[in-house]
Amino acid sequence: MSLIGKVAVVTGGGSGIGRAISLQLANDGAAVSVWDLNAESAEQTVAMIVDAGGKAIACAGDASAKADIAHAAAATRQAFGPISILVNNAGISSFTPFMDISEEMIDRIMAINIKGPMLCCQEIIPDMLKDGWGRIINISSSSAQTGAPMMCHYSASKGGVIAFTKSLAIELAAKGITVNNIPPGFIDTPMLRQSPVDMEKQIAASPMKRAGGSEDIATAAAFLASEQAGYITGQTLGVNGGRVMP
């Protein structure tokens, strides 16, 4: 699937799933703008892309802050031109009993996981409308599909991503812009390894008896970003090894 001539933004592209998506889109020919709060991590992803012969730039900033988003988008347009692909991947998780969740924790997780993707879309959709072509891929979570103990605020934020995807897809369907989401399920990432999840127990309970890799999400994202996926919109493409079968 060729993405030659396309310009992609990947938020949270400095590590884990975001890095894998950035590498895959670049490998398929897109010029990639890697956005991350951690400038060093973003630069590392860019170096990997450039070393492989691709085109990329790093933009450091907060993908839930309107000013940072505008600055990163302007830098991307200056380097590569109008943005045609947006992957809203930046996010945070939290494992906290519901009654111990503070107002500050709720505000932070909602700001990053749902407000951020909304603001990024508002900034970038005008480019897509002008060109009559665009791909928006939101990374949600299988926890939003099943529920998860000690993750009420996280699951709620990611459930919002799924609902946002459907609503925006309807609004933009006649404009040549597709909007889909991928809810990863049990993917071996640095974030997962830092969590209290019992990986061996999860592997034993998984239909495939293994964790997925970031590249599994990246491949799905690349497909949804492609020309071949032009009649797919408003969909939830589960990449979870059979953990969730809606």
Q: Cβ-count burial of 145 within 10 angstroms (0-12 exposed, 13-18 middle, 19+ buried)? A: buried
* CA–CA separation, 131 and 58 (whole Å): 24
The whole-number pLDDT of residue 121 equals: 98
CA 140 to chain CA centroid, nearest Å = 7
- The catalytic residue among 35, 80, 154, 186 is 154
Torsions phi, psi for 59 (to 5 deg)? -130, 115
Instruction: For residue 161, count other CB atoms closer than 10 A to its CB.
Output: 23
The whole-number pLDDT of residue 226 equals: 98
Amino acid identity of residue 140, one-letter, is S
Look up 154 and say whether it is catalytic: yes
Low-confidence ranges of the chain (pLDDT < 70): 189-199, 204
pTM of the model: 0.95
Cα separations in angstroms, 128 against 4, 94, 123, 177, 178: 16, 33, 10, 7, 10
Amino acid identity of residue 246, one-letter, is P
Please name every residue paired with 136 in a beta bridge, in sequence order, or none if there are none: 86, 179
Cα separations in angstroms, 60 against 48, 79, 86: 17, 15, 16
The whole-number pLDDT of residue 210 equals: 81
The whole-number pLDDT of residue 171 equals: 98
DSSP state of 209: S
**Is the Cβ–Cβ distance between 26 and 49 less than 8 Å?**
yes
The whole-number pLDDT of residue 51 equals: 98
DSSP of 141-178, one letter per residue? -HHHHH--TT-HHHHHHHHHHHHHHHHHHHHHGGGTEE
Size (the chain), residues: 246
